[in-house]
Amino acid sequence: MGGASWIIGELTWHTPNFGWVQSLALAAGVVAVVFAYSAGLHRQQHGPPVRFGLLGLRLTAIICVFLALWHPSCVREESLQICPTLAIILDDSASMAEPLVDANGSDAEPQTRFSRAAGVLRNDLEPALHERHRLRLFDAEARDCDFDTLPSDADGPRSALTDTLLRVQRDLSDEPLAGIVLLSDGREVSDRPTAGGLEQLRTPIYAVQITSEADEGGVPDLAIQAVSANRRALVGNTVRVAVDCAVTGARGEVRTAVAIRDSEEVVARRVVQCEAGQDALRVQLEFIPQRPGEFTYTVDVDALPDERKLDDNRSTFPLTVRAKPLTVLYVDGVLRWEGKFLREALAEDPDITFVSTVRTARPGMDRGSQGLLLAEQLANVDVVVLGDVEAGFFSSSELSALRSWVLEGGGAVALTGGYHSFGPDGLGRTVLRDVLPIEFSADLNPQADRPFNLKLTEAGRQHPIFHLSGDPVRDAAFFHRLPALAGCSRVAGVKPGAEVLAVNPQAGVSGGGRELPVLVVQEVGAGRSMVFAVDTTWRWRMVVGGFTGDASFYPQFWGQLVRWIATGGDETTPRLLVTTDRHRYRVGQTIKVDIELLPLATSNDELTTTVAEGLPRYQVTAGVLGEEGHRVTVPLAELGGGRFRGALAARSHGRLDVQVRAVPMESSPSGDAGEELSAVATVNVDRPDLEALDTRPDPQWLAQTAQLSGGRCVSPEQIRAWADDLPAAPVQRTRLKASGAAGDRVLALLFLTLVCVEWILRRRSRLA
């Protein structure tokens, strides 16, 4: 019959707080005590039983002291079956107290978002999860809550949900956390950026959709999404402005008004009808500027009934109004479709005088340009656009005059792509290469004939040439979806200081790389230059206009292109600069406004801080426009040198527009009345309660959170099926359990017992 064996555990010793030197000294002391004690008993001539008995008691007492110092214990492993933990966050912030719409129209008190979330917790989540999971309940501030004592309604001030999720994840890091269930409307007011918040989640987030559009009925909101308008106009001509608005939560048909203001003056206003269920609104407005100058116009829409969020009901756009139209000279060496459609696009623009000439004879068979680009002709031109034309069409005097006109006279030249203009006999072999922003290719045939879709660079997305709707992302996608261009001209490189706005993503520079620059701009000398290395943009106009009937983007694109490249304006025209000491304020703080009139520089010389001699004096006024349309005048103090300063207390929260207007005075040193100017600077005054300001549910935030964390969004009806799919198997955890061989109290009692027994025996043996 075999014997049985088992493992009790592992005996461990704890090192005392003193070091080895002290331990050796203690051991030496013990040896000395034993030796002295034994020698004393021997001198008193006691027999071995007495000596060894008393010495044994003394040694045992000393051993008890040592055991108390080293704490020996027996450690053994235990295997445990632990249910996975599931954290539930019940959002009790202010937005959760919003009532839900009663579809049946009963007179009963409406259900709130919080009461619905609490009902989902009691009736759906807890019954489906409690048997196989350990449930932990938290509120919007990550505090532990009891399932049996839920509050009757939401009373928290705000919900920084990202911070709450991260705190719960951190607090439960020692537990087998299977996920976090979020019962919330998604109204996040945390200042933490997404990249530094949600991406730190390592636990799946399961967002329960407690609200829907039918439940909410929608909190009314009308927001301006984009304002589309040309940035340059002519005095006396009509300026057309398109305002795109997003409509949410509108109950039934509502009427609103859209207005364009120049400071306090309303220059255009239109009342529009918003139909029930309409989610987008596009309003077309027109006005005629009567004065030249540089203006910043404000577009605002009247608030819907019960609308709370008003900071997006206002937008601004700049406009430069010229006293005379831009003159564009277009020269092409080939009779082609591009010239026809370009002529139609620019000739219909009321702010542009378009002059064109096209060679009709064969190259070398005609008499050339006949002096089109000489200095006396260029004096009456703002922009020169060169089509597919070789260098031999112009005389050397013309090309030199064009170069000087750009570098010294502030002119603007644009070169479009083509076989002749970029070929071996093209303009890259002339003095004009000094002002163009590219390096020409040395290939005999630099043309890339493979069709491609134009791709905007990051600089191109932000550039005014490509602003159609005012939304850079939407505009970039629009240009990329346009019909493919037939090809482009290859370039060898881009000059330092040039800016690439658009590329051909399918062809590299001189055969290398993946993206070929096709639209490049540069500030050169006192002027500007551009290379648009394509010759087929007419396909955009023909194909889009033929299929949709709306090709309004085509003249807008070319109009913005020539408006931007034209340096325009008089070099003595001042600019109005408005700055504030900060962008965000608290109620009661002082808004400090600095205003400065700057002359327009035409060279690289540093701008002076005083108004140039001969410029007219300006009467400058300023006011602050609040979200609800209240205007307060800002008193200004003139500091001299065209500088002004004002201050105003921030008395209400929300968006504030500081509107400044500069009107030239009748009497001026030069007798010139000058041009009017206006500018707007926007600041924000922090609100005391962001949660109560905008209480709309945010299902997109919930979906984004679930997606980033590897979780999912579920509806209350899907909870049962979702709970069955959750990991519910018990988690195997091993832990070490330590049990002391003898407690400190037992050792102390044993020590006292041994000392007392020894003392009694010594007394009975009549020992001192």
Of the two residues 434 and 54, the one the predictor is more confident about is 434
pLDDT band at 675 (very low <50, low <70, confident <90, very high): confident
d(CA 74, CA 655): 69
> Does residue 240 lie within any of the structural domains?
yes
The domain boundary, picked from 298, 313, 347, lies at: 298
Distance CA(78)–CA(193), nearest Å, equals 44
Together in a domain, 353 and 412:
yes
DSSP type of residue 509? B
Q: Which two tokens stand for residue 446?
A: 């630099």
Question: Residue 468's CB: how many other CB atoms inside 10 A?
Answer: 18
- Among 300-309, 501-510, 569-578, name the most confident range: 300-309
pLDDT surpasses 90 at 646: yes
Query: Which of these ranges, 317-331, 581-595, 596-610, 640-654, has the smallest mean pLDDT?
Result: 596-610
Between residues 752 and 524, which one has the greater pLDDT? 524
Supply the pLDDT for residue 75. 61
Answer yes or no: do 109 and 148 share one domain. yes
Q: In the prediction, which pLDDT does 205 show? A: 92
Q: Is 676 within 8 Å of 661 (Cβ atoms)?
A: yes
Does residue 384 share a domain with residue 490? yes
Across 168-186, average pLDDT: 89
Are 195 and 246 in the same domain?
Answer: no
In degrees rounded to 5, what are phi and psi of residue 507?
-140, 135
**Mean pLDDT across the chain:** 79
- pLDDT band at 383; cut points 50, 70, 90: very high
The answer to whether residues 281 and 418 belong to one domain is no
pLDDT score, position 607: 35
Residue 658: band (very low, low, confident or very high) from pLDDT cuts 50, 70, 90: very high
How far CA 236 is from CA of 323, 325, 662, in Å, comes to 9, 11, 20
Rounded CA gap, 380 and 328, in Å? 10
Using 50, 70 and 90 to split pLDDT, how confident is the model at 151?
A: confident
Residue 696 CA from chain centroid, whole number: 20
The CATH number of residue 100's host domain is 3.40.50.410
Name the residue with higher pLDDT: 713 or 104: 713
The verdict on residue 248 lying in a domain is yes
Q: In angstroms, rounded to a whole number, what is the distance separating the alpha carbons of residues 765 and 133?
A: 70
- Classified as helix, coil or strand, 204 is coil
Same domain, 548 and 627: no
- Write the single-letter amino acid at 27: A
Residue 437 backbone class (left: φ over 0; alpha: ψ -120 to 50; beta: rest): alpha
pLDDT band at 5 (very low <50, low <70, confident <90, very high): very low
If one compares 14 and 253, the residue with the highest pLDDT of the two is 253
Question: Containing domain of residue 366, as a range?
Answer: 327-565
Residue 2 banded pLDDT, cuts 50, 70, 90 = very low
Say if residue 211 is in the same domain as residue 237.
Answer: no
Per residue in 51-93, pLDDT tens?
677 777 777 877 777 776 666 666 666 666 778 889 999 998 8
> Is the residue at 304 inside a domain?
no
Asked if residue 746 has pLDDT above 90, the reply is no
What does the DSSP 8-state code read for residue 428?
A: G
DSSP labels for 383-419? EEEE-S--GGGS-HHHHHHHHHHHHTT--EEEEE--T
Q: pLDDT-based confidence at 547, cuts 50/70/90?
A: low
- 63, exposed or middle or buried, with CB in 10 Å at 0-12, 13-18, 19+? middle
Question: How many domains does the chain contain in total?
Answer: 5
| Residue where a domain terminates, one of 669, 692, 715 | 692
Average pLDDT on 8-21 reads 53
Task: Tell me how far apart the alpha carbons of residues 465 and 450 are, in angstroms, rounded to a whole number.
Answer: 25
Whether residues 424 and 413 fall in one domain: yes
pLDDT above 70: residue 602: no
Q: What is the CATH number of the domain that holds 601?
A: 2.60.40.1930
| One domain, residues 596 and 686 | yes
Q: How many percent of the chain have pLDDT more than 70?
A: 77
* Strand pairing category for 590-599 and 499-504: unpaired
Distance between CA 9 and CA 12 in Å, rounded?
Answer: 9
In angstroms, the CA 627 to CA 629 distance is 6
Q: Please check whether residues 286 and 254 belong to one and the same domain.
A: yes
> Which of 146-155, 410-419, 692-701 is least confident?
692-701
**0.85 cut: is pTM over it?**
no
> Mean per-residue pLDDT for 512-536?
85
- Is 249 within a domain? yes
Q: Which residues pair with 531 in a beta bridge?
A: 415, 520
Q: Which of 42-46, 113-117, 461-465, 528-532 has the lowest mean pLDDT?
A: 42-46
> Do the beta carbons of residue 331 and residue 217 sit within 8 Å?
no
Q: Within this chain, do residues 135 and 261 fall inside the same structural domain, yes or no?
A: no
Can you give the pLDDT at residue 211?
79
Any idea what the CATH number is for the domain that residue 281 is in? 2.60.40.150
pLDDT value at 550 more than 70 = no
Claim to verify: residue 371 and residue 448 sit in the same structural domain: yes
Give residue 8's pLDDT.
45
The CATH number linked to 405 is: 3.40.50.880
C-alpha 459/C-alpha 212 separation (Å) is: 40
Q: DSSP of 722-766, one letter per residue?
A: HHHHS--SPEEEEEEEEEESS-HHHHHHHHHHHHHHHHHHHHHTT
Q: Decide if 181 contacts 208 (C-beta within 8 A).
A: yes
Domain-terminating residue out of 298, 313, 337: 298
Give pLDDT tens digits for 415-433.
Answer: 988 888 898 888 888 999 9
* Residues 6+ positions from 592 with CB-CB distance below 8 Å: 580, 581, 645, 646, 647
Q: Is the pLDDT of residue 297 over 90?
A: yes
Q: What is the pLDDT of residues 233-262, one digit of tens each?
A: 878 788 888 898 888 777 778 889 999 998
Q: Which helix (H) or strand (E) holds 54?
A: helix 48-70
- Is residue 96 a part of any domain in this protein? yes
In a domain, 309, yes or no: no
Q: Mean pLDDT, to the nearest integer, of 527-542?
A: 85
- Output the pLDDT for position 495: 92
Inside any domain, residue 54: yes
For residue 450, being part of any structural domain is answered with yes
What is the predicted pLDDT for the residue at 87? 93
Identify which of 519, 524, 499, 331 has the alpha carbon closest to the alpha carbon of residue 434. 524
Greater confidence, 182 or 324? 182
